[in-house]
Every structure is written in structure tokens, then in C-alpha cells.
Chains A and B, each alone.
Chain A
Amino acid sequence: MLAPLHKHLLNDYQQDFPLSPTPYRDIADQLGVSEDEVLAAFKSLSEQHMISRIGPVIAPNSIGCSALVAMAVPEADLARVAEQISEYPEVNHNYERENRFNLWFVAVADDEHQLQQVIADIEIKTGYTAMLLPMLADYFINLGFELNLHD
């Protein structure tokens, strides 16, 4: 069970974490609690990994060059291939999904050329073909993802 303060912090600051010298005091003032309470609650949410981070969310491809990549890997070989791919520092998400294309990851590099090199290297190392799915358009709407925290 989450305390009301924790729920507010999780739900209300997905868009507008204050850009001010004392953001936690600003939040405390908005919620009518103390700055120490806000800091302690955020620390606890971070420690429980309910918040992955507090910081800027960078628009895709505004720095560097990224692509979603899918691979179809036989079940028996999946653990090896997944581990090899996760080891690349250029890979920042790697998910197993229920599909013939069962391995999905995001690769980020400084530019297009370097991205192609990383993908080529991954294909050689793993022995499987990579399907590149770069973003062509981002239908981004500035709305928060409404969290249902009532359980």
C-alpha cells in the first residue's frame, strides 16, 4: 500500500517536475507537507524502484541516433543471444516478447554510421539477422500516463 503522499509524487510529477533551485520545497509547498517529507518519500520510491529516475526525458534522436531492432531467435539459443546483446553499452532496452520475433532491443549510437556498425557487429556475433525499425514519426502528445494507484 502506498501512502497518499507517495501516490501524489508518483502520479503528479510525470510531466512537470519543477525546474527551480529548490524543486522539492516547491513540491512540498504545493502538497502542504515539508521538504524533508518530500525528499524522504522520493528516496523511498527510488529505493523501491517505483521511480526509475527523476530527471529530463530526452526526445528520441535529438542526440545520437537510435533504432528499435527485432530478432527471431530459436528458443534454445535465446539466453545466449540475449546476454550477448545486453552486454553492448549501445543497447539500452532489451525485451523478450511472445512472437516469432522474440527479441526486441533499442540501440543508440552517435550517428547513423556507428549505429549500422553496431548492428552489423551484433549480427556477426549472434549469427542472426536483425530487423531494423527506426522511428519514422513520433506521435507524441504531452499528456501524462494516468496511473491507477488504487488497489
Chain B
Amino acid sequence: MSLDVIDRQIIQATQAGLPLVTEPYQAVAEQLGLTTEDVMQRMQAMQDNGVIRRIAAVPNHYKIGYRFNGMTVWDVDDQQVDMLGRRVAELSFVSHCYQRPRHLPEWPYNLFAMVHGKTEQDAEQQAAIIAELLGDSSCQHQVLYSTKILKKTGLRIAG
């Protein structure tokens, strides 16, 4: 997954969003002094090698009514975390699922799954479904709701 200078320029030029014009990739190409074909081929290559996960109209979950954003955190057996993480990620209401390090004793959780509900009850139900899936493999868990979004921007890399 090696990126050259031009790949990075394309990411920098598009990560905050493509322009809303009839030919957005051409607009990016003109800005960078490339051809449209070049921009599109490089974006396709970055999709093929996994740097670009997808090209998307990214919804703002909060604004379309998913007000309850819950970070569910689980203390799962290390031997099983990969297998279980993949199963949790398959749930339709889970948007992100990651393994992260524990910080004992104050933070015993190693599996994180983000859920989004229109009501707190929805989010709790989603957490309950994850709890059922994990069963005895998870010894403890918590759901951390966000009470305030203090800052939210897309990924930014230095220019």
C-alpha cells in the first residue's frame, strides 16, 4: 500500500468532499494538473489496495435522526477476539468494530463496536443483541453514549 506524492495530493484534494459539479473528478484533475483519467485510475488503484475503503455519500447519522450514538466496549477473551469481532462487525447496525488495547486496571475493554439508534431504547437493544452474540466470551461491557459532539471533521492529513 505505498502511496506516491500524487496519490497523497488526490486524497488531500478529495477527503473533505468532491465538488458538487457535473464532472467532479475532472474538477479535481484540473486543480492538480492531472487528467481526469489519471485521477480516476489512481482512485481505483487505491480502492483495489484498500487505502480508499469506498467512495461514498457519507450520511450524517446524527442529523438524520440517529441521535443515540453508543460506543459499546467489551472485555473479550484475547484468543477469541478476532473471530468475535468479525461476527459483531457483520451486524447491520454496527458501523465500526475495532480491537484496541486494554489499560488495566481502569480499562479492561478490548473490543469496541459503534451502534446508532434513534432512541436510547434502540441503542440498548442493539447492545443487547451484541451481548447475546458474545455470550460468556465477554465478561463485562459498557455502553458509552455521546452527550456532546465537540468537534467532528473528516480525516485530515497534513498538507
Q: List residues of A whose CB falls within 8 A of some B CB.
A: 9-10, 13-25, 35, 39, 42-43, 45-46, 48-59, 62-64, 68, 70, 82-83, 85-86, 89, 91-101, 104-105, 108-110, 131-143, 145-149, 151
B71 touches A97 (CB 8 A): yes
Q: Which residues in window 81-136 of B have CB below 8 A to A?
A: 81-82, 85-86, 88-90, 92-93, 95-101, 103, 106-107, 112, 116, 118
Q: Which residues of A contact B65 (CB under 8 A)?
A: 151
In the assembly, what is the distance between CA of A82 and CA of B157, in Å?
22
In the assembly, what is the distance between CA of A138 and CA of B98, in Å?
5
B90 touches A141 (CB 8 A): yes
The listed residue with most A CB atoms (<10 A of its CB), out of B25, B43, B53, is B53
In the assembly, what is the distance between CA of A107 and CA of B53, in Å?
20
Interface assignment of B80: CB less than 8 Å from any CB of chain A? no
Q: Which residue of B lies closest to A48 (CB)?
A: B63
- B interface, how many residues as a size bin? 35 or more
A14 touches B151 (CB 8 A): no
Q: Which residue of B lies closest to A59 (CB)?
A: B53
| Residue in A18, A99, A133, A146 whose beta carbon sits within 8 Å of that of B144 in the complex | A99
Interface assignment of B150: CB less than 8 Å from any CB of chain A? yes
Q: Which residues of A contact B95 (CB under 8 A)?
A: 145
Q: Which residue of B lies closest to A95 (CB)?
A: B146
| Residue in A64, A70, A98, A108 whose beta carbon sits within 8 Å of that of B145 in the complex | A98
In the assembly, what is the distance between CA of A49 and CA of B69, in Å?
17
Q: List residues of B whose CB falls within 8 A of some A CB.
A: 1, 3, 8, 11, 14-18, 20-26, 36, 40, 43-44, 46-47, 50-61, 63-65, 69, 71, 81-82, 85-86, 88-90, 92-93, 95-101, 103, 106-107, 112, 116, 118, 142, 144-158
A54-B58, A89-B156 are contacts. A145–B93 as well, Cβ < 8 Å?
yes
Q: Which residues of B contact A143 (CB under 8 A)?
A: 90, 92
Q: Which residue of B lies closest to A137 (CB)?
A: B99
In the assembly, what is the distance between CA of A86 and CA of B11, in Å?
23
Q: Give the shortest distance, in Å, between A66 (CB) and chain B (any CB).
A: 8
A17 touches B56 (CB 8 A): yes
The listed residue with most B CB atoms (<10 A of its CB), out of A23, A82, A91, A134, is A23
B71 touches A62 (CB 8 A): no
B53 touches A21 (CB 8 A): no
The listed residue with most A CB atoms (<10 A of its CB), out of B59, B65, B153, is B59
